[in-house]
Amino acid sequence: MGSVYKALHLRFGEIRALKVIGQELAIDPMLLKRFEHEAVITRKLQHPNAVRVDDIDEAEDGRPFIVMEFIDGVSLKKLIQSESPLPVPRVCTIIKQAALALDAAHHLGMVHRDIKPDNIVLVETPEGEQAKILDFGIAKVREARLCGETSGMTLTGTGMVVGTPQYMSPEQAAGKRGEELDGRSDIYSLGIVMYQMLTRELPYKADTTMAMLLAHLQTPPTPIQVLRPDLQIPEEIANVVMRCLQKDRDLRPASAKALIDELELAQSSRARAVAPAAAGLPRRATSPGQSQEILPTVSRRRGVWFSASIAVVILALGGWYFGRGSLRSPNERPSTPPNQAVGPRFSQAETTAHPRLEENTNESQVVLTGSQRAEPGAQADRLPSAPATSRRAATSTGPAAAPPTAGAARSNSLEIERRIKGAVTEGDFHYDNGEYDEAIKAYREGLKLDFANVILRRKIRRAEQGKATEGAAKQ
């Protein structure tokens, strides 16, 4: 709708950007009003992730122009073309910054309605990469308190759709405008941008504008992990993107701030899932610039001291037991047989010893259940009669499997949950495409992991009903 020039402010000595309306459009009163509308509304938006508007004026030939902050950066469109698929952490950072600007705009009653990579510029700052959103010029004032003169004004015109077809929300594709649009329309568009940054692909492909609009209205987007399984994009992040692309805006994040919260939660959940894999492993110091190497085993000295500590505990327990027995009078009968009294005590010591003893089996043979150094006959023959299981363990010199740690159990639980979510995502995709048999198969795969999962059972029944309805319709 206009041209942008780089200009020098003579009085301030600062570089600015001037957006001047085209001569051929200056004769259209509606476009002139829309241009002025852009300046008035965007001037109210003062946010570090949105381009700042400083002033509005007229050129000598009567054409209005806007004085804006000059941005020296690269457009997100060029970045996607040259470097995508982009790393997940960088994508999340850029999207969260863009969402911050949208959240500020939405609180002012402004809906951008043309979020796309062309309208997001990345600028290098001392603090790092900063995203800035351009062109709030097609926004609609949704609240009369912002500007009384323009309250209720519709800029799109009857039957006219404003925006870029590839990034339009279903509401825009359906021709909604003005008060019928809210911030969730921008969230849908930002979800498409994020999808493209992660995969280098758009969720919909069409040969014509009308076909693209219909795709936004009717076609379910291909799940990220189905489209690009080779990228191994974390499921938590992919799920947030797919929520943004819901046809029903009530199923999307409720606001731009809610989108930021969901992304941060997804990132932290992913970090917690990965952390147990490296927990507790010491690292060998390296020179600056080199990565640290995780050591496969604990140090020998630590293992020897731990084994010695366990042996001391066992000897102390044995001394206490024999000392207690020597204090009994000759006529006193023990309340329980010796083997029943000793067994549980040694079982408790055994349980305590298990998590660490397995690490030291290469350095010294360890009695896992009795927590003794393996010197067959040295201690075992002095023990009172114990249960058969303890006696066999006391004479064993081979390593035994340690019980699962809390971290391993948690990691296993997260893996099961991830696979169940994957089954649900795949099943929903097939169901939305009318592939009921494939949907049922996917849901049942998830049910194998959690037989009592109510949601999966409901989805199976729903798919079976859809299949039955389809079969009845064909007959």
* Residues annotated as part of the active site: 114
Residues sharing a CB contact under 8 Å with residue 459, sequence separation 6 or more, in sequence order? 424, 427, 428, 431, 439, 443
Using a 10 angstrom Cβ sphere, with 0-12 exposed, 13-18 middle and 19 or more buried, the burial of residue 70 is middle
Tokens, residue 126: 């001392």
The burial of 82, by beta-carbon neighbours within 10 Å (0-12 exposed, 13-18 middle, 19 or more buried), is given as exposed
Q: Which two tokens stand for residue 260?
A: 């930021």
Q: Nearest-CA neighbor of 270 among 314, 230, 234?
A: 234
Are 253 and 182 in contact, with CB atoms under 8 Å apart?
no
Structure tokens at 300: 């020998």
The token pair at 56 is 């509005």
State the sign of the Cα–Cα–Cα–Cα dihedral 466, 212, 106, 124.
positive
Tokens of 71: 């941005």
Instruction: Determine if the peptide bond prior to 288 is cis (ω within 30°).
Output: no
- Residue that the structure tokens 């037989």 belong to: 451
Asked if 131 and 33 touch (Cβ cutoff 8 Å), the reply is no
Q: Give the SS3 label for residue 17.
A: strand
Phi then psi for residue 212, to 5 deg, are: -65, -40
- Identify the bridge partners of residue 16 per DSSP, sorted by sequence position: 7, 69
Amino acid residing at 263: L
Phi-psi region of 157 (alpha: psi -120 to 50; beta: other; left: phi over 0): left
- Residues facing 75 on adjacent strands: 121
Query: Quick check: 250 and 171 in contact, CB under 8 A?
Result: no
Identify whether the C-beta of residue 144 lies closer than 8 Å to the C-beta of residue 152. yes
* Count of beta carbons in the 10 Å neighbourhood of residue 172: 26
Instruction: Identify the bridge partners of residue 284 per DSSP, sorted by sequence position.
Output: 293
Q: What Cα–Cα distance (Å) separates residue 124 from each residue in 69, 90, 96?
A: 15, 14, 16
